[in-house]
């Protein structure tokens, strides 16, 4: 079984300051990990994914995440927040290399950007 | 990135009525997934469907739910007799062309049961 824990339900940062959204995972096998973003009243957009290649993964809109097996973490970061980053962010896990497995979502982190 | 559309974008129905939600991928896919998100809660897996058969379903996916691929392209989720607690966003997802770990989501259907 696999699960993810998003440690913060709500994060507020000022525009231009760094963003850190925390995620810890649990998986019986090697995981594939993702971050999805959901803007208000919109669907789910893939930000980035880790699938056992490089541990530092770069995504869209300047976001990146680092897979740390020793800490079972996959935190999402961005050096400088923009107003358009305000959204709900979901950390997601699935079983790597099994193919076509269901995704398991975290509870989400709402990111607010202060002007 | 594969594209998928969903219809309708918003469905309002009376409790006890049947609803059919549709998912249409731009290109042909054998694998489909349905997820739901109750307002303010996390996204939950409902069912995966491969080659015209259910491959996995969650405990949420009870006898009130069914899925099918009626014409080889559309993929439908039917709720036979809706309950108030079925009110949610329902998302269809398809795997990426480059590998099957990644799933791409449609825009969702907001179902409101009155």
Q: Model confidence over A76-110: pLDDT tens digits?
A: 999 999 999 999 999 999 876 666 688 999 999 99
Q: Model confidence over B30-47: pLDDT tens digits?
A: 788 999 999 988 899 999
Closest residue to A43, CB basis, from B41, B48, B107: B107
Q: Which residue has the tokens 């990146």?
A: A64
Q: How far, in Å, CA of A106 to CA of B73, rounded?
A: 31
Which residue of chain B is at minimal alpha-carbon distance from A5? B42
Kindly report the backbone phi and psi dihedral angles of residue B28, in degrees, each rounded to the nearest multiple of 5, phi listed first.
-70, 130
Closest residue to B50, CB basis, from A32, A34, A100: A100
Kindly report the backbone phi and psi dihedral angles of residue A83, in degrees, each rounded to the nearest multiple of 5, phi listed first.
-55, -35
Q: How far, in Å, CA of A104 to CA of B64, rounded?
A: 23
């Amino acid at each position: 079984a696999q699960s993810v824990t998003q440690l913060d339900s709500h994060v507020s940062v000022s525009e231009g300051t760094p963003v850190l959204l925390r995620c810890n995972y649990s998986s019986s096998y090697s995981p594939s990990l993702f971050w999805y973003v959901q803007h208000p009243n919109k669907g789910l957009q893939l930000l980035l994914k880790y699938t056992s290649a490089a541990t530092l993964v770069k995504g869209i809109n300047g976001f990146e995440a680092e897979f740390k097996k020793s800490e079972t973490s996959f935190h999402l970061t961005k050096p400088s927040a923009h107003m358009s980053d305000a959204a709900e962010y979901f950390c997601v896990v699935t079983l790597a290399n099994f193919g076509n497995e269901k995704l398991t979502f975290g509870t989400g982190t709402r990111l607010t950007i202060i002007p | 990135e594969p594209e998928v559309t969903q219809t309708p974008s918003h469905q309002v129905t009376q409790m006890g009525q049947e609803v059919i939600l549709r998912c249409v991928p731009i290109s042909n896919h054998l694998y489909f997934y349905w997820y739901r998100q109750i307002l303010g809660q996390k996204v939950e897996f409902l069912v995966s469907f491969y080659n015209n058969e259910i491959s996995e379903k969650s405990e949420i996916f009870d006898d009130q739910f069914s899925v099918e691929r009626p014409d080889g392209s559309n993929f439908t989720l039917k709720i036979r007799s809706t309950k108030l607690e079925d009110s949610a966003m329902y998302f269809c997802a398809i795997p990426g062309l480059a590998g099957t770990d990644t799933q791409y989501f449609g825009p969702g259907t907001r179902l409101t049961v009155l």
